[in-house]
Amino acid sequence: MRIYPLVFKHVFTKMDPEQAHHFAFNAIKVAQRAGLTKVVRKFFAPSPKLKRTVMGIEFPSPFGLAAGFDKGATGIVALSDIGFGHVEIGTVTGQAQPGNPQPRLFRLVEDRAVINRMGFNNEGAERVAARVANARQQLKGDYSQTRPVIGVNIGKTKVVELEDAVGDYLTSTRQLAIHADYLVVNVSSPNTPGLRLLQSVESLRPLLTEVGQLADKVSGRHIPLLVKIAPDLSDEDVADVAQLAIELELDGIIATNTTIARDGLTSDSAKVEEIGAGGLSGAPLKERSLAVLRQLRSLVPAEMALIAVGGVENAQDVKDRLDAGADLVQGYTAFLYEGPFWARSINKGLERML
């Protein structure tokens, strides 16, 4: 019998979703600080057979944790110890900000989905950078061979006007790039007013150009740079982003962020309407995310990395994304439903299938 589903049903569903998230995440971090995750690390560790090199970086597994779970880089080591091949932290903004008013996280259990309007709540680039640096050093010491990879996802501070967005992203880049294995420019969250307007090619070109140049300059090495896009882009807009990525020689694209659509949900429509605005993630996003991935793979060169995220629940979903052309795959929402053994389960399933 699996214990976590019972805990989720009888404990976490009785709690506010954001409180439940903090409670579960804190439990994992407490276990790490007590040395428990280090003791069982071999049990959770991906098989060496799953190693792959992407963007010049060796990943212990193609499966990792998407941005949004560890916004403040407080649990990178703990999350790595339970089997994620990479942990993408953030989204981090140039200035600290509290995010949107609570409640701002909502479960749709019948759909195995979540709606969030968190609003990039984080402590700001300078403070988060110190934690990323410490985690990187600890992982280097803890893993003698292939260590888990750290991605850093950056976004726009809410109070910064769109015309000043580039400078705000550069503030985060200056603080964080040197500590990142790869850097992601997030222009696709629906929860920061106007942010998605930055997905237009005219806005993206200067933003990605300046972030990429500064990241390499402050780091003294090439920092792989990716852009994360929304599933709500039209096929024409996806093609435009792909062409821009080729033109700028980006290292990769992450597809996709959460959606503002509410199509095909089985949850009560009145409940969904009452929840209101926010990005939907989880199982309902699976097909659109996969479609965007396939379109991108047909448009960009093989050496450009594609990271697939959206509706990933099990090892078969990960394999489907890899078969469709993804180089790496990320999950998040199913972690809330499956619990701390989720990454291990996916890695074991992948090992059998691959």
List the binding residues for substrate.
Answer: 71, 116-120, 186, 191, 257-258
298 in catalytic set: no
* Residue 119 DSSP one-character state: -
Cis preceding linkage at 333, omega within 30: no
* Residue 12 DSSP one-character state: G
Lookup: tokens for 306: 């594609």
* Residue 122 DSSP one-character state: B
By the 8 A CB rule, do 136 and 179 touch? Answer: yes
The count of C-alpha atoms lying within 13 angstroms of the C-alpha of 137, restricted to the half-sphere facing its C-beta, is: 6
List the binding residues.
Answer: 67-71, 91, 116-120, 153, 186, 191, 228, 256-258, 282, 311, 332-333
Helix (H, G, I), strand (E, B) or coil at 101: coil
- The burial of 126, by beta-carbon neighbours within 10 Å (0-12 exposed, 13-18 middle, 19 or more buried), is given as middle
By C-alpha distance, which of 264, 265, 283 is closest to 332?
A: 283
| CA separation for the pair 229, 189 (Å, rounded) | 8
Identified catalytic residue from 189, 267, 281, 289: 189
Distances (CA, A) of 40 to 24, 25, 78, 246: 18, 17, 11, 42
By the 8 A CB rule, do 310 and 279 touch? Answer: no
| CA separation for the pair 324, 225 (Å, rounded) | 22
By C-alpha distance, which of 146, 166, 148 is closest to 157?
A: 166
Catalytic positions: 189
